[in-house]
Structures are given as structure tokens and as C-alpha cells.
Amino acid sequence: PVASVLERGGVKIARDDVVRDEPSNNIPDTIFTKLGQQLHRRDQHPIGILKNAIFDYFDSSYENKFDKFDDLCPIVTVKQNFDDVLVPADHVSRSYNDTYYIDPRTVLRCHTSAHQAEILSKGHKQFLVTGDVYRRDSIDSTHYPVFHQMEGVRVFSPNDWESSGKDGAAYAAEDLKKCLEGLARHLFGAVEMRWTDTYFPFTDPSFELEIYFQEKWLEVLGCGVTEQEILKRSGNSNNVAWAFGLGLERLAMVLFDIPDIRLFWSTDERFTSQFSKGQLGVKFKPFSKFPPCYKDMSFWISESFTENNLCEVIRGIAGDLVEEVCLIDNFTNKKGMTSHCYRIAYRSMERSLTDDEINELQWKVREQVESKLNVVLR
Ligand code: PHE
């Protein structure tokens, strides 16, 4: 059952304030029910166990403690989520297709970086922020619209780098990589990993760390040397800093052998009973493997069609019974009409699904896809 009023970080949210059927609000019930669950604060849950293990690493590696925040409200302003971390006005991540908006000035944070600027302004020099983050996205085994991140920030003053013979930025970049490689060794022992260069609006240079998992390189964190503008605005003009943001689910999937990201939300005892406080990396034993059921659907799209909207409609009907939504055919005819064929994989991790049940879901999906997405079924 969903509480009708939630309170997080001193902010009261009435359900009716959040879920309203109007264009400026795109938060469905499936997302609303996740607010306040705080998997990262449960010591017996893989996400909480991992958070605590990362805390242990920082506590044992640094004499000066990192300040820890893990109860900051996920409802933030557009300014906090985007402007304060220098995300350009026309960046795609600001769109209603990518981000959950409560109203035009308020979002569900899409990253823990939303809290960087404020915490820096309060004078904290090294800190960790853990929390649930929200992104509209497509559906597969490693993507879920709610997941958990941990942000880390460390500020240096001229004293720290002056004797090293390096400039501040080079000193910070080196310290950052050393810190994160140490963290990866602390968590994994030996694991195949690689650094790649990337772009974030709030860091320069920026890097990504990837870990080899299930025959693929999985991106587990983004990081870099903090943009000087952010430091300047927060009263740190003479300083240099690094920041990272890591995805807890993806690390936990690798560490605990959890094959599907939906499992983190399972309340089935056969899942929850396998984990205990302080036990990092106990390998999860799948308690069942039920067969998936595939359903294909084809339709002519219109200009406003997006895959994220399609996935939201499907999840609204099938919830966590959807395992994957995959575009399997795409063509444009002579009249310029574009057809998409999607394959939906339905699978429960807890029980066998019946044909009747799936047919009913698929029927509703077809109905709503047509009525809500402005497409024509073929
Ligand atoms: N906020 C970034 C993301 O969510 C991660 C990040 C954090 C990158 C801090 C650099 C510095 O993808």
C-alpha cells in the first residue's frame, strides 16, 4: 500500500500533488510507489550492503572522514538537478522524454549530482551522497527507471598539490583514479576494468569506468575533475576538486550475481532471505527460471513517438512482468510512413505466467499504445 503522504528530508508530499494527469507532470503510479522506499538504507538489502561496504572503504582509507548524506529528498528543483551543475539549457537530459517532472520547475532527481552545489556551498570538503534517482528509459535487464547512485566529492586546497610539482587539475585526476581503482579492488578483488574518456557538463576532464560482466563492458561510474565554475559559485575559488557518481545496482549485479535489475525490488522471501548485513558478494542463487513469453506488435509511428513513452505505457500495465522491450524491425514505406515492430518479453522471476494472463496484458498494451501514443496498429 502506498502512503498518501510521504515525508522525506522534511518535505511533505501528498500523493495528489504528485500524480496528476496533466501535461506538466509525467510521473506514473509505478514510479510514485518507489518514492520513500530507500533500498539504500536497508542493511540487509544488496544495495544497502554495498553502500556500507563503500563507506568502509572510505572510512579506512582516509584520515579525514567523508561526510555522508543518504536521506536527501529525491524531489529537487530544475535548478538543483541541471542549472547548478552547468547542464546546458538545450541538453536532452532536460526533456520530458528523459526526466520525470512534477511540474515545470520540479523534478525527481536524475542523478545525485543534484546535491553537489548545495553541499559544497555549505563548506563540506569531502562527502558522499547516496540516494534513489529516476530516469525515463527503455526496458532491459540492466535498466530500470529508478536506481541508486552514490556521489563522491573531494576538494583540495593549494597546499595539497603545490609540493607535488603537478598543477591542481592533474593532481586531482590522479588522486581520483587512485581512489576509484582502490575502491574497485576493495569490492571485487580482481576484476577486468577499463577507463574511457567521456563528457559531463560538470567535470573536465571526464572519465568512465567499465567492468566486464556477462560478456559485456558495463558502465558503472562517471567521474572527473570538477568544473571551476561550480567551485567558484560555492566559495571554493582557489580550490580544485574531483567528483564521481556510481550506479549501485550495476555494481551489485556484478558482486552478487544478480541477473536482472527488477530483482532489487522483489519482496519475495526467496530473494530477500539470501542477503544479510555486512555480507558483500554472497552469490545469489536463482530460485527459479521461468520461461519468457514473447509478444510482437507492429505499428505506424507518428512524429511524437518515443521508445521511452512506449516503455512507460507497457510498464504501467505489466509492471515488473516486463523483462525487455526490443525494436526488432523498422522501415519507412514509399509514402514516408515509418513502421516499428517491438518484441516484448514477459517473464516473472517468481512464478509461471499463464497464457491467459499474458494475452490479457498484451491486449491492454495494444489498446493503450494506440490510444495514448498516437500510433496506428498494423
Ligand atoms: N552524474 C553523472 C551521471 O549520473 C555521474 C557523474 C557524477 C559524473 C560526478 C561525473 C561526476 O551519469
Instruction: Dump strand ranges (E) for 84-192.
Output: 101-103, 106-108, 126-134, 146-156
Atom of ligand 1 nearest to the CA of 111: 4
The position carrying cell 520530458 is: 96
Q: What is the mean pLDDT of residues 55-70?
A: 97
CATH architecture of 5-264: 2-Layer Sandwich (3.30)
Atom of ligand 1 nearest to the CA of 245: 7
Q: What is the mean pLDDT of residues 315-336?
A: 96
Of 6 and 365, the structure prediction assigns the larger pLDDT to 365
Instruction: Dump strand ranges (E) for the chain.
Output: 5-8, 11-14, 67-69, 75-77, 101-103, 106-108, 126-134, 146-156, 193-200, 203-213, 216-226, 240-247, 293-300, 322-332, 338-346, 376-377
CA-proximal residue: ligand 1, atom 4 (nearest): 111
Nearest to 222 by CA among 236, 253, 201, 252: 201
- Distance in angstroms (rounded) separating the CA atoms of residues 220 and 213: 11
pLDDT digits (tens, 9 = 90+) for 171-212: 999 999 999 999 998 998 888 889 999 999 999 999 999 988
- Distance in angstroms (rounded) separating the CA atoms of residues 195 and 197: 7
Q: Which one of 109, 200, 220 would you pick to mutate in the ligand 1 pocket, going by the greatest count of ligand atoms within 8 A of its CB? A: 200
pLDDT digits (tens, 9 = 90+) for 116-156: 999 999 999 999 999 999 999 999 999 999 999 999 999 99
Atom of ligand 1 nearest to the CA of 152: 9
pLDDT digits (tens, 9 = 90+) for 66-76: 999 999 999 99
Q: What is the mean pLDDT of residues 49-72?
A: 97
Q: Please list every protein residue whose CB sits less than 6 Å from any atom of ligand 1.
A: 111, 113, 151, 200, 202-203, 222-224, 243-245
Q: Where are the domains of the chain?
A: 5-264, 293-377
Please name the fold of domain 293-377.
Answer: Alpha-Beta Plaits (3.30.70)
- Distance in angstroms (rounded) separating the CA atoms of residues 346 and 343: 10
